[in-house]
Amino acid sequence: MTSETIAQIRNEAAASLSPEQQQQWEQFLTPMPVAEQAVSLFTPTDRPVRILDLGSGSGILSAVVAGQSAAGSSVVAIEQDADLAAASESSLRQVCDDVTVINDSVFNVMLDDQFDRVILNPPYKKIRPMTVATSGGGAKVTNLYTAFLMMAIQALDEGGECVAIIPRSWMNGDYFKDFRKWMLSECSIDALAVYGSRQKHFKDMNVLQEIMLLKVSKRAQAGTVTVYADVVPDRPLERQPHESVALKSLLMGKDQILRIRQQDPRLAVFRPMSDQGLWVSTGKLVWFRNRDVLSDIEQPNGHPLYWSDNQCGMVMTHPIKCDREQWVNGEADSRNVVLPAGSYCLVNRFSSKEQHHRIYASYLHSDVDFVADNKLNYVHQGTSRRTVPLDDRSARGLTLWLSSSIVDEWYRQVSGSTQVNATDLRQLPCPSRMQLGVLADRLPVEGDVDQNQIDETVERLFSWVQAS
């Protein structure tokens, strides 16, 4: 058997899947280069191993594991699609004599904790919150891939290893905090390998996801984690840049947000935004639930309405010419969506890895009460229940700080999704409000301010460079 044969089975299976089938579960068949990288993370052993593949697809992952394992190894592969289950059987029979392919949903199969190697590239689909049962009572998940990964970890024998090809989104954000807490208490995180491009890893399947390889093992946490922060799919992992770091140097806050790199030491002197009395909330207007209050024209007793479209450089502009209504009528006052007049920093809730800046921040000073769309976060000095505007200098200075390159790099190491979460922003290292005010005095947010001016002003304020 050659790897080309297994790759051919995979390629034929991938070509036979319709776009509708791919998108139904967001399950993407693993190309051979990615499969080989994933399998290379397992610790070499001369003894036979028991292998489990959850959602096996064409069987490429478990076939590569089995092909590199000692004689006497066994494979259990679970795949609910009948055609793909048959492809798994074809792949696995070429490399292993002891093969069991189960054509059923992973959730219908009872698994014992007896496996030495578990490998998976699960479906990535978002789901309604569900609780996956564990020996400790269960943990809530909101994506199929985290549910699969919980089942995979629970199927490990003591000392067993699991490698998963999954989105990076579990590492941050509120939706995944229960899962993170459970996983960190259940196993050792041994390796994190994040692909630098969102497209090259699954070129033939039209995937636009920030994907990673995760290796964990059923044991107490190891002293260090091996981190590959910018992986390419066409070169063996061992030939790519990586570092070994202590897990605690990558974890942040009580929600245990997990970074890809250690924090820039220049940020160590700053406390998180939430500790500086700065709170991040999400705009309260969900437009499709409040269509009846939207207005194209200013109305008596109405309020200005701000969307991400109103971000013009580092300031919010209103009104603007666009396809979105720029006002709400007086009925909005009864909807709990109106914010008090004053100064704020607003941040677009969505950005991609390819954008120049992951955090797009804009300063707003409004002399009247206003409404912010749900696609914007806003920073104030209140609480989750009460919005209190910032003093004007803090709002301006914070907009500059969030627009700096050092903050952009911090956020890229924290966030693996296109959503800029309020939870993550609250953990962002931030100068004091006094320092933000000084920053605001040194550089106006209005006008044509470029990135070099922002970065040089920040660097000089905090003596990171010598002033000329």
Q: Which domain holds residue 456?
A: 267-461
- Quick one: 380 and 276 in the same domain? yes
pLDDT at 222: 94
Q: Residues 356, 310: contact at Cβ < 8 Å?
A: no
| Model pLDDT, residue 451 | 95
Rounded distance between C-alpha atoms, residue 459 and residue 453, angstroms: 10
Average pLDDT, the chain: 91
pLDDT band at 468 (very low <50, low <70, confident <90, very high): very low
467 falls within a domain: no
The reply to whether 224 and 271 lie within a common domain is: no
Please tell me the predicted confidence (pLDDT) of residue 467.
40
Pairing of strands 361-366, 98-102: unpaired
In the prediction, which pLDDT does 283 show? 97
**pLDDT value at residue 339:** 98
pLDDT value, residue 199: 54
The per-residue b/e assignment along 239-276, b for 16 or more CB within 10 angstroms, e otherwise, is: eeebeebebeebebeebbbbbbbebeeeeeebeebbeb
For the record, the structure tokens of 248 come out as: 């605690």
205 and 154 part of one domain: yes
Last residue of a domain, one of 220, 242, 260: 260
CATH of the domain at 344: 3.90.220.20
Q: What token pair was written down for 348?
A: 């677009």
Question: Looking at the structure, do residues 22 and 48 belong to the same domain, yes or no?
Answer: yes
Question: How far from chain centre, in Å, is Cα 167?
Answer: 7
**Tens of pLDDT, residues 54-67:** 999 999 999 999 99
Instruction: State which of 234, 260, 286 marks the end of a domain.
Output: 260
CB atoms within 10 A of CB 147: 21
pTM > 0.75: yes or no: yes
Q: CA-CA distance, 460 to 242, in Å (whole number)?
A: 32
pLDDT band at residue 198 using 50, 70 and 90 as cut-offs: low
* Number of structural domains found in the chain: 2
Which DSSP category does 70 fall into? Answer: P
Q: Which domain CATH number covers 181? A: 3.40.50.150
- Percentage of the chain beyond pLDDT 90 is 76
| pLDDT tens per residue across span 287-299 | 999 999 999 999 9
468, part of any domain = no
Residue pLDDT, tens place only, 138-191: 888 999 999 999 999 999 999 999 999 999 999 998 889 999 999 999 999 999
Last residue in a domain, options 260, 287, 308: 260
- 14 vs 366, residue with greater confidence: 366
79 and 222 belong to one structural domain = yes
Average pLDDT over residues 368-378: 98
